[in-house]
A and B are shown apart, each in its own frame.
Chain A
Amino acid sequence: MKTQLLLALSLSFLILGCRTVKEGNDPLVVRTEQTLVIARDTLDLFLSLEYQYHPVVRERLPEMQLIVQTFTCDSNTNGMADALDWLSSLNSVKNAYKNKLDTKDNLIKALAIVEAALAEAQEYTSIIERTIKPN
């Protein structure tokens, strides 16, 4: 019985942990698109939480205002928040790379910018959830 259970669990982990990229699809493009979705949703969650608890966050975690400002300001004056601009730029570079109009290096550089923003948003979301958001 125990052996059967272990076998079933091992098989589940093997199957669930082995998602692959379909033949003919570029793994870098697929990974970039997965990052784009995760980054968009994580940044949105972070800004939404900060907005909801803004007075308390401003008072107790004033250093967080700098990152909120960085994400939401419109430094390109194109009417779009900078963090959304980074996501849009990464998507444009990815599409250009797919069409052989841009290099892999440029795609990796653009991906690194979004991954850095994603890491910050994850960290700050966790801080708000641990220190400010009521249970």
Chain B
Amino acid sequence: MTPQLIIQALAGAVALVEYIIKIKNALRQDTEWTVEENTAWEDSLNRLNEMPHWKPRND
């Protein structure tokens, strides 16, 4: 088994794992937010509101 063949086999294995992860994610069914997810989302709005690009422009 040459080093080139080993690298190709490893690359193939990585691609296969990535593909399996993609399929697994795709098969996951969508659900409503939990209370924690809802709170985290509201917090994210408050954080954005403090950022300079969310303020009215000065000119």
16 additional A-B residue pairs with CB within 8 Å, beyond A84-B48, A84-B54, A88-B42: A15-B23, A19-B26, A19-B30, A20-B30, A25-B31, A44-B53, A47-B54, A68-B57, A72-B54, A74-B56, A79-B49, A80-B49, A81-B49, A88-B45, A91-B38, A91-B42
| Contact B56–A22 (Cβ < 8 Å) | no
Contact-residue size bin, chain B (C-beta under 8 Å from the other chain): 20 to 34
| Contact B30–A25 (Cβ < 8 Å) | yes
- Given the complex, which residues of A lie within 8 Å of B36, measured CB to CB? none
Q: How far is the CA of A58 from the CA of B55 in the complex (A)?
A: 16
Whether a CB of chain B sits under 8 angstroms from the CB of A95 is: yes
Q: How far is the CA of A21 from the CA of B59 in the complex (A)?
A: 46
| Contact B29–A22 (Cβ < 8 Å) | yes
Whether a CB of chain B sits under 8 angstroms from the CB of A6 is: no
A25 to chain B minimum Cβ distance, whole angstroms, is 5
- Given the complex, which residues of B lie within 8 Å of A26, measured CB to CB? 32
Can you name 7 A-B residue pairings with CB atoms under 8 Å?
A: A16-B23, A25-B32, A30-B31, A33-B33, A80-B49, A81-B55, A98-B32
Contact of B41 among A29, A37, A80 (CB under 8 A): A37
Q: How far is the CA of A25 from the CA of B29 in the complex (A)?
A: 10
| Contact A40–B57 (Cβ < 8 Å) | no
B35 to chain A minimum Cβ distance, whole angstroms, is 10
- Given the complex, which residues of A lie within 8 Å of B55, measured CB to CB? 72, 81
Residue in chain B with minimal CB distance to A95:
B38
Q: How far is the CA of A21 from the CA of B56 in the complex (A)?
A: 39
Q: How far is the CA of A12 from the CA of B48 in the complex (A)?
A: 37
Contact of B30 among A30, A50, A58, A81 (CB under 8 A): A30
